[in-house]
Structure 1
Amino acid sequence: MSTSLIRSASVIFLLLSALPAAAQDTVTVGGEKKRAFGTPIEFQNGDVSCGVTLKDDRGAIFYESADFDLCVQEKALKGKRLALTYKTARVMAASCQGNPDCKKSDTVVLIVSAKPAPLAAAAPAAPSAPPPAAAKAGQTSFCTPTETVVFSCRTSPTKLVSVCASKDAGPTRGYLQYRTGKPDSSEPLDLTLPAAQMPPPQAASGESVPFAGGGGAWLRIATKTNNIAFTVYTGIGKWGPRGEVQEKAGLAVERDGKRIATLKCIGKPISLLGPDWFEKAGIKSKDLDFDFPD
């Protein structure tokens, strides 16, 4: 980013690449808590910064603004685990829409440096430690006992995705939220969307679709500021190599209408997705389509 746009309000250089991976997972910059490590999966040049989509060490997707230099380094950085250095900066306001004559500015936190940071080698397990397969099933959703589990599944051993609704959820009442994070943990959720409680039709779109040998359903929850969408889905159809009936379930992530990640459920999901629940909650497609992943 040009020096004419960035006037640093405070600079915090984090010498993270010299620390073990487990030493510090987050840092606070400009009053905001940021992930110290991430693996970029997409770069996108914007009017005021380079937008970066990353995955953390648990597989959670997050988004940061960065110096334009990081977009230039896309080929060298994409897909690598990086130690991230942030600073606060003054940049052209988003309302300027790239107009160089605009004098408005915003204060933002930017990634200004990203250095390769391989995961530290795991310590050998004690002889008496149970193998991963012996771990208990544990938490099955992030919904409370007073809520309805609309959808929930693990997309990895350390990643749980849930869609929860109030018991009274309907076209004009109650609420629906997408929640994701680390199960069986006291850590805060990675994401709750929408943050405010609102009736299902305002929070999501969805549709039931017929397939040969079965059918499917999808439910899409999107952010307004980052144009990010999360779609949970289930389906059964003749998708096998020889037309055998197979089931599908998982989470698809989109940015600006482009799919950037697909995470399949481990095991059978908990799901109410389908015409009955959609009608009860007032969920409609809003003229959107969804392509079920292979």
Structure 2
Amino acid sequence: MSPSLVRSGFLGFLLLSALPSAAQDTVTVGGEKKRAFGTPTAFQNGDAACYLTLKDDRGGTFEELADFDLCSLEKSLKGKRLALTYKTARVMAASCQGNPDCKKSETVVLIASAKPAPLAAPAPAPAAPSPAKSAQTSFCTPTETIVFSCRTSPTKLVSVCASKDAAPNRGYLQYRTGKPDSSEPLDLTLPAAQLPPPQAASGESFPLAGGGATWLRVSTKNNIAFVVYTGIGNWGPRGETREKAGVTVERDGKTVASLKCTGKPLGLLGPDWFAKVGLTAKGQDFDLPD
């Protein structure tokens, strides 16, 4: 696929990304935060459980394991908004790869039951814009930390958000992007699950002449990655100190799109925050765009 086709089609989908609603009801089971409601779109029997693909109330896709019995109810449940009840259970370990003679097991959170629920109330209509009201600066909620956020165009906002308790073994980090100052649902949150920062991303800070740079990369399962970055160095025509920040999209390790921040980014992206949450490069690197 040529870079131009990637930009016009594939990236058109990926870059119109966003987060599930902050108001989405959740429950915590086995130390994991789970959505309390979902509309199943696909059912698949697996080696360890029934695998469900669902949409939340804002259209975001997520996946869950469920009791095998739920796969037998596909015809009656598919396409309906469901109230989800979870439990912890021992299942065949993923390392068994479906081998029935394998005795290894692991504890996971499963959907134990799913009952039809009323449709979610529509979001209230947005108030008329007011000159005194400031524009949206991130997709992070008040209970989250802004790790990185900037606009790459008047209609595009990129944010990396983390829970306040984010640490090497707890909390979560997510990459979010979409249309700011809008009631429209956002399309993508990476990763979809709320994983601790070292499981969700990689990152590094490194020195440069006249300053330094920092990058954070979140990857998808299909070899697509989003990298947010900031940097300061002697890049001016006469060696003057200049700053740069933005997001690049990579496919199979190669840059296919690069968007610059239109203003100064917000957030804590840098070595101090990386050390706090245990974020490392994982053997990866990143070259700042020109």
Q: TM-score range by the shorter chain?
A: 0.5 to 0.7
Tell me what 2:243 maps to: 247
Letter in 2 for 1:186: S
Letter in 1 for 2:166: A
Tell me what 1:274 maps to: 270
Residues 57-113 of structure 1, C-alpha deviations (whole Å, 9 max, x = no match): x9638xxxxxxxxxxxxxxxxxxxxxxxxxxxxxxxxxxxxxxxxxxxxxxxxxxxx
Letter in 2 for 1:175: Y
> Offset at 1:136?
6.2
SS at match of 1:266: coil
Tell me what 1:291 maps to: 287
Q: Does structure 2 retain, via aligned residues, the 8 Å contact 1:171–1:200? A: yes
Paired with 2:146 and 2:11, the residues of 1 have a C-alpha distance of 28
Q: Does structure 1 retain, via aligned residues, the 8 Å contact 2:150–2:158? A: yes
Tell me what 1:158 maps to: 155
Taking structure 1 as reference, are residues 182 and 135 closer, same or farther at Cα in structure 2, changes over 3 Å only?
Answer: farther
Paired with 1:287 and 1:239, the residues of 2 have a C-alpha distance of 27
Taking structure 1 as reference, are residues 234 and 135 closer, same or farther at Cα in structure 2, changes over 3 Å only?
Answer: farther
> Offset at 1:243?
1.1
Letter in 1 for 2:4: I
Tell me what 1:28 maps to: none
Letter in 1 for 2:269: L
Q: How does 1:12-91 map to 2 (within 5 A)?
A: 41-42=4-5, 53-55=10-12, 60=16
Letter in 2 for 1:144: T
Paired with 2:132 and 2:180, the residues of 1 have a C-alpha distance of 13
Letter in 1 for 2:226: F
Taking structure 1 as reference, are residues 59 and 199 closer, same or farther at Cα in structure 2, changes over 3 Å only?
Answer: closer
Paired with 2:163 and 2:15, the residues of 1 have a C-alpha distance of 28
Q: Does structure 2 retain, via aligned residues, the 8 Å contact 1:151–1:269? A: yes
Tell me what 2:216 maps to: 219
Paired with 2:11 and 2:160, the residues of 1 have a C-alpha distance of 22
> Offset at 1:268?
0.5
Residues 204-235 of structure 1, C-alpha deviations (whole Å, 9 max, x = no match): 000001000001100000001x2110000001
SS at match of 1:249: strand
The answer to whether the aligner puts 1:236 opposite 2:192 as a matched pair is no
Tell me which of 166, 185, 188 is aligned to 2:185: 188
Tell me what 1:138 maps to: 135
Q: Does structure 2 retain, via aligned residues, the 8 Å contact 1:41–1:55? A: no
Tell me which of 173, 178, 183 is aligned to 2:175: 178
> Offset at 1:135?
9.8
Letter in 2 for 1:244: E
Size of the aligned set, in residue pairs, is 177
> Offset at 1:137?
4.4
When normalised by structure 1's length, the TM-score is: 0.56
Q: Does structure 1 retain, via aligned residues, the 8 Å contact 2:15–2:177? A: no
SS at match of 1:174: coil
Tell me what 2:261 maps to: 265
When normalised by structure 2's length, the TM-score is: 0.57
> Offset at 1:255?
0.7
Q: Does structure 2 retain, via aligned residues, the 8 Å contact 1:42–1:260? A: no
Taking structure 1 as reference, are residues 135 and 237 closer, same or farther at Cα in structure 2, changes over 3 Å only?
Answer: farther
Q: Does structure 1 retain, via aligned residues, the 8 Å contact 2:15–2:178? A: no
Tell me what 2:198 maps to: 201
